A = this chain, B = another copy of it.
Amino acid sequence: MLTTREAKAIISAAETKANTINVPVIIAILDAGAHLKAFLRMDGAVLGSIDIATKKARTAVLFEINSELVWEYCKPGAPAPCLELTNDGLAPFAGGIPLKNSDGVLQGAVGVSGGSVAQDFEIAQAAAAAFTNK
């Protein structure tokens, strides 16, 4: 179970990394039931990233893998075309990372959006590390 204390630490780590690479982002933390636990929109992030950050985290919770890995199942030629249309729309690109405990049990996910996909992923990794290394 993801605690408020943990959620704050994850957001704080994401914010620190975002400031380091100078990219304002939106950070969404969902629990293992895909319900919002914590959220922060940094000044300067575009409004469109509210839904993207949330959907990346949601995609990571729903399939218990990084959001970009879902693309492997639905990209052209893959066996599950239109998978991305399920669950009210997935965000199958980098920036959503599941949060698992030391036993590998899903506790939630973090989703980041606002920079380039590579930047979002870098920030999400820093955020997830704050949970894993707590």
Q: A50's contact among B7, B36, B85, by CB below 8 Å, is which?
A: B36
Quickly give the copy total for this chain.
Answer: 4
The CA of A4 and the CA of B26, in the complex, are separated in Å by 11
Contact in complex: B33, A33 (CB < 8 Å): yes
Q: Which residue of B lies closest to A15 (CB)?
A: B4
| Tally of A interface residues using CB under 8 Å | 51
> A33 contacts B34, CB within 8 Å?
yes
The proximity string for A residues 24-67 relative to B, scoring 1 for CB distances below 8 Å and 0 otherwise, is: 00000001111111111111001110111001000101111000
Residue A92 lies at the interface, judged by CB distance under 8 Å to chain B = yes
Chain B residues whose C-beta falls within 8 Å of the C-beta of A37 in the assembled complex: 40-41
Question: Which residues of the partner chain B approach A41 to less than 8 Å between Cβ atoms?
Answer: 4, 7, 35-38
Q: Which residues of A contact B (CB under 8 A)?
A: 3-4, 7-8, 31-43, 46-48, 50-52, 55, 59, 61-64, 71, 75-76, 79-94, 116-118
